[in-house]
C-alpha cells in the first residue's frame, strides 16, 4: 500500500476542502468580472452624448 | 497522534484561513473608506477580489512553502512577499476599471495591501495566540 490506511481520511478531507476553496476562488473571479462589466456599461451609458441616445430612441 | 489532535489541527487550519480572509477584507475596506471611496459596486469588487486573492495566497502559498520548496522561515516570508506583489497587480486591474483617477487608485491599493499584510498578520497572530 502506498500510504497507511489511517492517512486516507485526512487526505480526502483536505482534498474536499481544497476543491471547495478553488470553487470559491473561481466563483469570486467570475463575480468580479460581472460587476466590472456592468459598471463599465453603466459608465459608457452615462458618458454617451444626448444626441446619440435620442437617435437610438428614434430608431427603436 | 490521537483523533482529537488531528481534528484540532484541521479546524485550526480552516479557522486561520477564514480569519485571515475576514481581517484582510475589513482592513482593506476601512483603508478604501478613509481614502474616500464610497461606491457600493467598488466595495463588492473589493470583497470578491479579496476572497479570491487571500484564499489563493493562503492555500497555494502554504502548500508551496511548507510542503515542497521552502522549509526555512525566511524563504517562506520571501515567498509570501512575492505573492503579495502579484496580488497587488491582480487587485489593481479590476479596481482601476471601477474608478476614474488611476494614480489615486494605484496608491490606495498599495496602502490597503501593505496595511492589511502588516496589521492582518499581527492581529491574526494575536487572535490565534489568545484562542
Q: Look at chain B and report how many structural domains it folds into.
A: 1
User: Cβ of B6 and A24 within 8 Å?
Assistant: no
pTM: 0.79
> A17 — phi, psi (to 5°)?
-60, -45
> Residue B3 above 60 pLDDT?
no
pLDDT at A35: 95
**Tens-place pLDDT, residues A4-49:** 667 788 788 888 888 999 999 999 999 999 999 999 998 888 887 7
Q: How far apart are CA B126 and CA B113, in angstroms?
A: 19
ipTM above 0.90, yes or no: no
> Residue B48 above 90 pLDDT?
yes
What percent of chain A has pLDDT above 90? 37
Parent domain of B37: 3-130
Q: How far apart are CA B61 and CA B86, in angstroms?
A: 12
User: Cβ of B45 and A35 within 8 Å?
Assistant: yes
> Residue B72 above 70 pLDDT?
no
Residues in Cβ contact with B131 at an 8 Å cutoff, skipping those fewer than 6 apart:
B15
Q: How far apart are CA B88 and CA B107, in angstroms?
A: 11
Smallest Cβ distance to B48: which of A22, A28, A39? Answer: A28
Amino acid at each position: 500500500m502506498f500510504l497507511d490506511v489511517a492517512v486516507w481520511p485526512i487526505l480526502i478531507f483536505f482534498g474536499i476542502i481544497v476543491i471547495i476553496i478553488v470553487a470559491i476562488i473561481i466563483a469570486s473571479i467570475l463575480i468580479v468580472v460581472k460587476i466590472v462589466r456592468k459598471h463599465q456599461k453603466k459608465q459608457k451609458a452615462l458618458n454617451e452624448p444626448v444626441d446619440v441616445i435620442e437617435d437610438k430612441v428614434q430608431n427603436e | 497522534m490521537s483523533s482529537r489532535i488531528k481534528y484540532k489541527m484541521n479546524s485550526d487550519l480552516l479557522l486561520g484561513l477564514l480569519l485571515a480572509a475576514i481581517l484582510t477584507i475589513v482592513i482593506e475596506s476601512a483603508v478604501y473608506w478613509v481614502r474616500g471611496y464610497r461606491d457600493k459596486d467598488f466595495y463588492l469588487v473589493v470583497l470578491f477580489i479579496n476572497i479570491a486573492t487571500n484564499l489563493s495566497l493562503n492555500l497555494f502559498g502554504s502548500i508551496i512553502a511548507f510542503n515542497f520548496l521552502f522549509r526555512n522561515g525566511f524563504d517562506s516570508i520571501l515567498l509570501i512577499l512575492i505573492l503579495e506583489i502579484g496580488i497587488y497587480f491582480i487587485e489593481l486591474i479590476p479596481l482601476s476599471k471601477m474608478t476614474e483617477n488611476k494614480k489615486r487608485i494605484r496608491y490606495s491599493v498599495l496602502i490597503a495591501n501593505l496595511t492589511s499584510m502588516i496589521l492582518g498578520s499581527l492581529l491574526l497572530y494575536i487572535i490565534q495566540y489568545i484562542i
